[in-house]
């Protein structure tokens, strides 16, 4: 049985601080499996300009006042709170036609994505409100005028217009990077499954974790909202290419150069390598993956495999294996025991998919399944939007234009035989830009040719192989840390990609000025900015330490004995340290040189303060470069400067980055690097 029927409800929008009904009842949204009405959706009468303004005024300043770590903490709290409520979301998710595994991708996949952004934000971003981009650019010989690129959050709102297929993930994967960037969101779910998104937003608002206005929801049409977007707003869209193009060319979006990210139809391909003949692990993995991609979410995934590109010699074996596997896909009520695939989201979608299959049939023949006959394990074929998997084959794939143009957004794929690898990559490229393609092979030459051949046409390429079979996340799974989006037909957009996705909601600006002024903007010490000397900075807790606190050490002469001792002690007897003749023959050295790691070790010996104190640990170095050779008799000196301070939330310590510069007796820079330490927030620690 599907979830017990309960009276349909009228969906509300959460706008301007309250839950609001549309002026009319609006159309009914039907349970995908039973046809029972679930909800009514309407947004007429809402003041959409006020919605945007509320986000900008009420939430924007509050979010921007928080640091990246504060926002990451907020996302973590929210993700954990949602995870605790997941069963309620699953119950509602069944009504969209999603089975429990489908719902897992949508619900726990979405919450997991939010938690990943929280964790990456905490680890990869500074605990500040501004991001730096790249190194300081020197613009004057005396370093009195330099430049630093920075990212700062847009001061508008991000409008996320989502597709019906992932009502939870589709929202969370977009609002997580947006909120981490410090930008409020307006979410517009696709009407068909908006009841699930509405439920999740209701629970989010109830937690009270987000500042008011950080998340607003529009259930129903967005009315004239797009007329009011400005250059400080961003619009993202997931759905059909037709709607996407229409919105992208909206006059206000064009006139105000509004950032517009589009993720639209994509004819993703999977390529079976010529080496992956029947009987190899790659052949079996390929069969499994194609069948899984066709049937998971009933093929209603933007990343699903639509084109199955395989060696002509393997076509018969592949068709038989896929026919067998697809034939075992139990279609039925999403929450019934034994169901492997649920219905499509609506009758309209099923009609649409059947129409698209007919278009494909003009150039391809059906080799498995029947679009017009429904075979069910449970449920009522007359009531639900059911469709068994359909596999087609286009024997002349280069002449089958429709296969490379028509997206049947359901459990449908087409086999395309190739005669050589060049044809295989050419066929993949005929999709004119896709979100993802995969290649299944155990041959390194095949991988190189295919990946380099198709990469410019894709946002992601997955290599299927026996070595990664156990751990692979699969063809169809976008991941928080990886870019999701594709060029050309796929919309030309890019989402997620870890912290890249956060920067989509920030403006990059080149800031020029004197170093001390640049440092004031970024909160980061740079060469030429103010420094202070006095107490050894390793004696200072985070409460006392300041950017620019500096230590200039005593000097130490490097001797032949030091180098001999280090070489024997460590076993590093590389000729440049040990053999004068060989060192002189080296184009970089005039004589034997000291080991780089000896220099770094001597530097530590010069700058550390040995007694127990607030510096708790040294957890690494960044960007270590040895710039000038050190010869016997050279004298080393270190200048250590506090560069960046990141107090850690909910902890007694934080991270401190120190600029470490080692010079010789001539003032030449011998080595340059960042020392990374953990430092106590207060010292001595407060008892209890």
Task: Indicate which residues carry an active-site annotation.
Answer: 263, 302
| Joined tokens for residue 682 | 């207060």
> Which residue, judged by CB position, is nearest to ligand NDP in the bound state?
239
Q: Tell me: does residue 247 bind ligand NDP (CB under 6 A).
A: yes
Q: Which of 188, 325, 484, 643 binds ligand NDP (CB under 6 A)?
A: 188
Please, what is the minimum distance in Å from the beta carbon of residue 675 to ligand NDP?
Answer: 46
What lies within 8 Å, CB to CB, of 172 at 6+ separation is: 110, 111, 113, 114
Q: Are 99 and 334 in contact (CB under 8 A)?
A: yes
- From 29-37, 234-242, 387-395, 664-672, give the range in contact with ligand NDP by CB under 6 A: 234-242
Please state, in angstroms and rounded to a whole number, the distance separating the CA atoms of residues 404 and 414.
10
- Taking the least distance from each CB to ligand NDP, the nearer of 412 and 671 is 412
Q: What are phi and psi of 320, to 5 degrees?
A: -65, -45
- Binding residues for ligand NDP, rule CB under 6 A, total 25
| Joined tokens for residue 99 | 């089975």
Q: Are 336 and 20 in contact (CB under 8 A)?
A: no
**Residues of this chain, 283-312, that bind ligand NDP according to CB under 6 A:** 302
- Taking the least distance from each CB to ligand NDP, the nearer of 299 and 654 is 299
Alpha helices in 529-595 (DSSP H): 560-570, 575-578, 580-585
- Taking the least distance from each CB to ligand NDP, the nearer of 163 and 416 is 163
Q: Tell me: does residue 240 bind ligand NDP (CB under 6 A).
A: yes
Q: Tell me: does residue 352 bind ligand NDP (CB under 6 A).
A: yes
Q: Tell me: does residue 659 bind ligand NDP (CB under 6 A).
A: no
- Taking the least distance from each CB to ligand NDP, the nearer of 241 and 624 is 241
- From 72-80, 195-203, 233-241, 498-506, give the range in contact with ligand NDP by CB under 6 A: 233-241
Please state, in angstroms and rounded to a whole number, the distance separating the CA atoms of residues 51 and 59.
11
Please, what is the minimum distance in Å from the beta carbon of residue 242 to ligand NDP?
Answer: 7
- Taking the least distance from each CB to ligand NDP, the nearer of 478 and 537 is 478
Please state, in angstroms and rounded to a whole number, the distance separating the CA atoms of residues 424 and 313.
13
- Taking the least distance from each CB to ligand NDP, the nearer of 197 and 319 is 197
- Taking the least distance from each CB to ligand NDP, the nearer of 54 and 188 is 188
Q: Provide long-range contacts, Cβ within 8 A and 24+ apart, for 372-381.
A: 374/331, 375/331, 376/331, 376/332, 377/330, 377/331, 377/332, 377/336, 377/338, 377/339, 378/332, 378/333, 378/336, 378/338, 378/339, 379/2, 379/33, 379/34, 379/332, 379/333, 379/336, 379/343, 380/34
DSSP secondary structure of 131-196: EEEEEEEE-STTSSSEEEEEEEE-SS-EEEE--SS-TTHHHHHHHHHHHHHT--EEEE--GGGHHH
Please, what is the minimum distance in Å from the beta carbon of residue 240 to ligand NDP?
Answer: 3
**Residues of this chain, 500-539, that bind ligand NDP according to CB under 6 A:** none
Q: Which of 13, 116, 238, 441 binds ligand NDP (CB under 6 A)?
A: 238
Q: Tell me: does residue 191 bind ligand NDP (CB under 6 A).
A: yes
- Taking the least distance from each CB to ligand NDP, the nearer of 266 and 319 is 266
Q: Which of 31, 42, 198, 263 binds ligand NDP (CB under 6 A)?
A: 263
Q: Tell me: does residue 146 bind ligand NDP (CB under 6 A).
A: no
- Taking the least distance from each CB to ligand NDP, the nearer of 79 and 239 is 239
Q: Which of 110, 156, 239, 343 binds ligand NDP (CB under 6 A)?
A: 239
Please state, in angstroms and rounded to a whole number, the distance separating the CA atoms of residues 72 and 127.
10
Q: Which of 21, 105, 163, 341 binds ligand NDP (CB under 6 A)?
A: 163
Please, what is the minimum distance in Å from the beta carbon of residue 424 to ligand NDP?
Answer: 23
Query: How would you classify the pairing of strands 635-647 and 653-663?
Result: antiparallel
Please state, in angstroms and rounded to a whole number, the distance separating the CA atoms of residues 86 and 78.
12
Q: Tell me: does residue 162 bind ligand NDP (CB under 6 A).
A: yes
Please, what is the minimum distance in Å from the beta carbon of residue 191 to ligand NDP?
Answer: 3
Q: Are 595 and 619 in contact (CB under 8 A)?
A: no
Q: Tell me: does residue 193 bind ligand NDP (CB under 6 A).
A: no
Q: Tell me: does residue 187 bind ligand NDP (CB under 6 A).
A: no
| Other CB atoms within 10 Å distance of the CB of residue 430 | 20
Residue with tokens 């084959």: 393
Q: Which of 143, 230, 232, 243 binds ligand NDP (CB under 6 A)?
A: 243
Please state, in angstroms and rounded to a whole number, the distance separating the CA atoms of residues 541 and 550.
14
Please, what is the minimum distance in Å from the beta carbon of residue 684 to ligand NDP?
Answer: 56
Please state, in angstroms and rounded to a whole number, the distance separating the CA atoms of residues 508 and 22.
39
Q: Are 261 and 485 in contact (CB under 8 A)?
A: yes
Please state, in angstroms and rounded to a whole number, the distance separating the CA atoms of residues 326 and 652.
56
- Taking the least distance from each CB to ligand NDP, the nearer of 302 and 642 is 302
**Residues of this chain, 51-110, that bind ligand NDP according to CB under 6 A:** none
Query: How would you classify the pairing of strands 158-161 and 234-238?
Result: parallel
Q: Tell me: does residue 164 bind ligand NDP (CB under 6 A).
A: yes
| Joined tokens for residue 89 | 């979301």
Please state, in angstroms and rounded to a whole number, the distance separating the CA atoms of residues 681 and 688.
15
Q: Give the x/- contact pattern for ligand NDP in 394-433, rule: CB under 6 A.
A: -------------x-x------------------------
Q: Tell me: does residue 161 bind ligand NDP (CB under 6 A).
A: yes
Q: Which of 99, 148, 197, 266 binds ligand NDP (CB under 6 A)?
A: 266
What lies within 8 Å, CB to CB, of 122 at 6+ separation is: 68, 69, 72, 73, 76, 649
Please, what is the minimum distance in Å from the beta carbon of residue 48 to ligand NDP?
Answer: 11
Q: Are 641 and 631 in contact (CB under 8 A)?
A: no
Q: Which residues bind ligand NDP (CB under 6 A)?
A: 161-165, 188, 190-192, 221-222, 238-240, 243, 247, 263-266, 302, 349, 352, 407, 409
């Amino acid at each position: 049985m599907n979830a017990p029927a309960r009276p349909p409800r009228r969906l509300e929008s959460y706008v301007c601080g309250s839950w609001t009904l549309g002026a009319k009842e609006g159309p009914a949204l039907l349970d995908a499996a039973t046809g029972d009405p679930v909800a009514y959706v309407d947004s007429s009468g809402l003041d959409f300009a006020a919605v945007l303004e509320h986000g900008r005024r009420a939430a924007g300043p509050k979010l921007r006042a928080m640091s990246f770590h504060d926002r990451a903490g907020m996302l973590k709290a929210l993700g954990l709170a949602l995870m605790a409520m997941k069963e309620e979301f699953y119950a509602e998710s069944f009504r969209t036609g999603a089975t429990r595994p489908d719902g897992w991708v949508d619900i726990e996949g979405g919450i997991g994505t939010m938690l990943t952004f929280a964790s990456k934000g905490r680890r990869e971003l500074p605990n500040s409100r501004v991001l730096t981009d790249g190194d300081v650019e020197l613009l004057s010989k005396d370093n009195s005028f330099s430049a630093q690129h920075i990212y700062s959050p847009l001061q508008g709102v991000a409008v996320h217009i989502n597709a019906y297929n992932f009502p939870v993930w589709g929202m969370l994967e977009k609002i997580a990077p947006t909120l981490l960037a410090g930008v409020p969101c307006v979410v517009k779910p696709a009407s068909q499954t908006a009841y699930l998104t509405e439920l999740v937003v209701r629970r989010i608002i109830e937690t009270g974790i987000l500042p008011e206005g950080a998340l607003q929801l529009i259930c129903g049409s967005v009315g004239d909202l797009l007329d009011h977007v400005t250059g400080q707003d961003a619009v993202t869209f997931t759905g059909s290419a037709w709607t996407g193009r229409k919105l992208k060319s909206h006059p206000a979006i064009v006139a105000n150069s509004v950032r517009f990210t589009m993720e639209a139809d994509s004819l993703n391909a999977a390529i079976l390598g010529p080496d992956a003949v029947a009987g190899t692990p790659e052949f079996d993995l390929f069969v499994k993956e194609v069948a899984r991609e066709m049937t998971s979410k009933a093929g209603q995934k933007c990343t699903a495999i639509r084109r199955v590109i395989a060696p002509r010699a393997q076509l018969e074996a592949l068709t038989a294996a896929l026919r067998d596997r697809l034939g075992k896909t139990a279609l039925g009520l999403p929450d019934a025991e034994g169901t492997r695939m649920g219905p499509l989201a609506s009758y309209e979608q099923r009609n649409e998919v059947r129409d698209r299959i007919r278009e494909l049939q003009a150039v391809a023949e059906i080799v498995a399944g029947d679009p017009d006959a429904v075979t069910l394990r449970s449920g009522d074929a007359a009531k639900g939007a059911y469709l068994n998997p359909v596999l087609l084959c286009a024997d002349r794939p280069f002449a089958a234009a429709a296969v490379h143009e028509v997206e049947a957004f359901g459990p449908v794929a087409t086999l395309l035989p190739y005669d050589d690898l060049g044809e295989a990559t050419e066929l993949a490229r005929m999709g004119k830009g896709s979100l993802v393609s995969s290649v299944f092979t155990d041959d390194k030459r095949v991988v190189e040719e295919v990946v380099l051949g198709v990469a410019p046409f894709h946002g992601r390429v997955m290599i299927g192989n026996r070595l990664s079979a156990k751990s692979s996340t699969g063809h169809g799974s976008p991941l928080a840390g990886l870019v999701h989006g594709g060029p050309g037909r796929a919309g030309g957009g890019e989402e997620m990609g870890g912290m890249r996705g956060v920067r989509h909601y920030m403006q990059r600006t080149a800031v020029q000025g004197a170093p001390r002024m640049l440092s004031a903007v970024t909160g980061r010490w740079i060469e030429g900015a103010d420094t202070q000397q006095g107490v050894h900075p390793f004696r200072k807790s985070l409460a006392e330490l300041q950017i620019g606190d500096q230590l200039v050490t005593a000097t130490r002469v490097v001797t032949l004995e030091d180098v001999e001792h280090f070489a024997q002690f460590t076993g590093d007897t590389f000729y440049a340290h040990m053999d004068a003749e060989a060192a002189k023959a080296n184009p970089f050295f005039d004589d034997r040189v000291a080991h780089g790691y000896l220099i770094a070790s001597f530097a530590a010996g010069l700058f550390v303060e040995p007694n127990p104190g607030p510096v708790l640990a040294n957890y690494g170095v960044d960007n270590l470069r040895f710039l000038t050779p050190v010869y016997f008799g050279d004298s080393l000196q270190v200048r250590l400067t506090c560069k960046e301070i990141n107090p850690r939330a909910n902890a007694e310590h934080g991270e401190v980055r120190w600029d470490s510069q080692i010079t010789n007796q001539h003032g030449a820079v011998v080595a340059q690097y960042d020392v990374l330490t953990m430092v106590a927030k207060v010292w001595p620690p407060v008892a209890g």
